[in-house]
């Protein structure tokens, strides 16, 4: 009798280069694909409505592709991790499933769910295969000479590059067509929570592949100089796809190597700079897998628990709505609200502003980002926030604090990004665009003066962090 397997789709929303799908399909087994939707799927964080919409559109797009492979797609709602486990167990029983295949989760709560599920499935004679497929190199395989995880990026990258040479990239073929499981039809439960239109982001494989290849063949060459300029389309814009596994990091590396064969050697090149970012992505995932406290809302460094964060709901609301009076911060926050995406340089600036100028706990920012980002990714987001807040490993030292005005002058010199998102500053001349309160016509503007004096706020933050560190 043909074996029947279940492919549990998680953050690996793709049919190409997918270890779980390929293995579920081995030996001509029948396969059913299952997606369990949950609003709170990122640990304890809400999923952004725009990210949920992207997932829903992607599943709709995958359905006919899977149908051509005779694989029905079943989408069910299961809001909690316990609910997901119970639904999976009941589907396995109902369909007489022999093996469950999925991509391994690196977050703590999801890992606990999987460990329990593995035991329960084993008790019923069902195999559970959790395959490491979200990183190029599996967490736990890039270690120091004394077999410890790296806590600093540069030696991690060196070792990562060495290991990659030992285990060259292989991109898996698409699974071939197979017999359809009888009496199991595709079913699609629409996500029950509010969605925000994500159609600016294509979801079909041809468009994704074109976006990846066009970037690797052309714009990556200038990535080094363009990547910090938010007014320029200088980065790949692939983060939503990488976060949800619509593209695998292996596919990205394969496209980069094909287009820029010397990307591994020339460290000053745009291609190497881009590769570097993909390795940052791996670094944060490895850290999250190896340090469970990161998934459990705790700082990397214990001393930072003593930071006397300010409780300031009104200040937080002004930051969230882009009303701080610092144009580069406000333009960035409005870009996030309107589009669900924000440029990396701006993520660093707004995170520094919240945690240092306003001394508001980084967890408020982390939560706001997860609730609004189309590319929300627990590891990258937590890593970015703890970097900016100086509470993470290999983070920005607490005494190096971004000046939001000079950051704006440096990275948006003519203010074109600011003007795009703050139409109320349209009449402000170029020379005053980063400090509109200094313009003689400022009283006429529907725009607030700066909510803090940056020099004073900087001194206060340094004193606060110094005191926390002294307490250990």
Q: Which residues are catalytically annotated?
A: 277, 280, 309, 344, 362, 385
Residue 103: phi and psi, rounded to 5, are -90, 135
Q: How far is 247 from 445, CA to CA, in rounded Å?
A: 44
Q: How far is residue 191's CA from residue 57's CA, in Å, rounded to a whole number?
A: 11
From 243, 288, 422, 461, residue interacting with ligand FAD (rule: CB under 6 A): 243
Which residue has tokens 């001194």?
459
Using CB under 6 A, which of 49, 230, 376, 392 touches ligand FAD? 376
Nearer to ligand FAD, 191 or 388 (CB): 388
**Applying CB under 6 A, which part among 139-147, 165-173, 279-287, 312-320 lies near ligand FAD?**
279-287
Closest CA to 35 of 61, 9, 59, 16: 9
DSSP secondary structure letter of residue 230: T
187 bridge partner residues: 74
Contact 323, 350 (CB under 8 A): no
- Residue with CB nearest ligand FAD? 384
Is residue 107 within the footprint of ligand FAD (CB under 6 A)? no
CB of 329 to ligand FAD, least distance (A): 13
Q: What's the closest the beta carbon of residue 183 comes to ligand FAD, in angstroms?
A: 40
Query: x/- contact string, 203-222, with ligand FAD (CB under 6 A)?
Result: --------------------
Q: How many CB atoms sit inside 10 A of residue 280's CB?
A: 18
Q: Are 244 and 58 in contact (CB under 8 A)?
A: yes
Structure tokens at 350: 């707004």
Residue in this structure with the two tokens 């806590």, named with its chain if needed:
151
242 lies in the binding site for ligand FAD (CB under 6 A): yes
> Shortest gap between Cβ of 189 and ligand FAD (angstroms)?
26
Does residue 281 bind ligand FAD (CB under 6 A)?
A: yes
What is the DSSP code string of 3-66? -EEEEEESS---SSS-HHHHHHTGGG-EEEEEEEE-SS-BTTBPPPHHHHHHHHHHHHHHHHHH
Tell the smallest beta-carbon distance from residue 379 to ligand FAD (Å): 8
Q: How far apart are CA 472 and CA 469, in angstroms?
A: 5
CB of 231 to ligand FAD, least distance (A): 14
- For ligand FAD, which stretch binds (CB under 6 A), given 113-121, 346-354, 408-416, 431-439? 346-354
Q: Does 375 help bind ligand FAD (rule: CB under 6 A)? A: yes
Q: Is 110 in the site for ligand FAD (CB under 6 A)?
A: no
Q: Is residue 349 part of the contact set for ligand FAD (CB under 6 A)?
A: no
What is the distance, to the nearest Å, from the Cα of residue 3 to the centroid of all Cα atoms in its chain? 36
Q: What is the total count of residues that contact ligand FAD (CB under 6 A)? A: 29
Q: How many residues does the chain have?
A: 472
Q: What's the closest the beta carbon of residue 272 comes to ligand FAD, in angstroms?
A: 13
Euclidean distance between CA atoms 445 and 378, whole angstroms:
38
Binding mask 382-421 for ligand FAD (x = CB under 6 A): -xxx--x---------------------------------
Q: Which residues bind ligand FAD (CB under 6 A)?
A: 227, 235-239, 242-243, 277-278, 280-281, 284, 343-344, 347-348, 351, 369, 373, 375-377, 380-381, 383-385, 388
């Amino acid at each position: 009798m043909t074996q029947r397997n279940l492919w549990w789709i998680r953050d690996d929303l793709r049919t190409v280069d997918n270890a779980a799908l390929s293995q579920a399909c081995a030996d001509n087994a029948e396969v059913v694909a299952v997606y369990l939707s949950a609003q709170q799927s990122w640990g304890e964080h809400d999923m952004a409505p725009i990210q949920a919409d992207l997932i829903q559109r992607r599943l709709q797009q995958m359905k006919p592709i899977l149908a051509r492979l005779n694989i029905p797609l079943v989408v069910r709602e299961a809001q909690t991790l316990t609910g997901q486990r119970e639904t999976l167990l009941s589907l396995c029983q109902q369909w007489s499933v022999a093996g469950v295949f999925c991509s391994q989760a690196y977050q703590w709560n999801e890992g606990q769910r999987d460990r329990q599920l593995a035991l329960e499935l084993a008790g019923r004679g069902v195999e559970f295969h959790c395959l490491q497929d979200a990183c190029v190199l599996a967490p736990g395989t890039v270690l120091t000479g004394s077999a410890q995880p790296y806590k600093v990026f540069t030696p991690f990258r060196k070792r990562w590059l060495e290991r990659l040479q030992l285990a060259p990239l292989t991109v898996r073929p698409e699974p071939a067509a197979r017999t359809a499981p009888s009496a199991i039809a595709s079913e699609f439960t629409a996500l029950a929570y509010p969605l925000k239109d994500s159609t600016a982001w294509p979801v079909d494989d041809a468009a994704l592949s074109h976006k990846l290849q066009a970037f690797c063949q052309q714009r990556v060459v200038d990535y080094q100089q363009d990547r910090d300029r938010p007014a320029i389309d200088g980065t790949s814009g692939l983060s939503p796809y990488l976060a949800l596994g619509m593209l695998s990091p292996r596919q990205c590396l394969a496209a980069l190597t094909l287009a820029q064969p010397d990307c591994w050697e020339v460290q000053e090149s745009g291609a190497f700079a881009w590769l570097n970012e993909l390795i940052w992505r791996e670094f944060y995932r490895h850290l999250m897998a190896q340090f469970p406290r990161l998934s459990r809302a705790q700082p990397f460094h214990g001393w930072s628990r003593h930071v006397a964060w300010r409780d300031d709901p009104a200040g937080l609301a002004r930051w969230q709505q882009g009303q701080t009076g610092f144009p580069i911060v406000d333009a960035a926050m409005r870009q996030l609200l309107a589009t669900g995406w924000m440029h990396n340089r701006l993520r660093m600036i707004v995170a520094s502003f919240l945690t240092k100028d306003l001394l508001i706990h980084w967890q408020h920012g982390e939560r706001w980002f997860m609730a609004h980002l189309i590319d929300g990714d627990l590891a990258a987001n937590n890593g970015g926030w703890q970097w900016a807040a100086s509470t993470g490993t290999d983070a920005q030292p607490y005494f190096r604090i971004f000046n939001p005005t000079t950051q704006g002058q440096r990275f948006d010199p003519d203010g074109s990004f600011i003007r795009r998102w703050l139409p109320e500053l349209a009449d402000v001349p170029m020379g005053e665009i980063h400090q509109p309160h200094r313009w003689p016509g400022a009283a006429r503007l529907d725009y607030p003066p700066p909510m803090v004096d940056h020099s004073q706020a900087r001194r206060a933050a340094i004193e606060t962090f110094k005191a926390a560190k002294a307490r250990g």
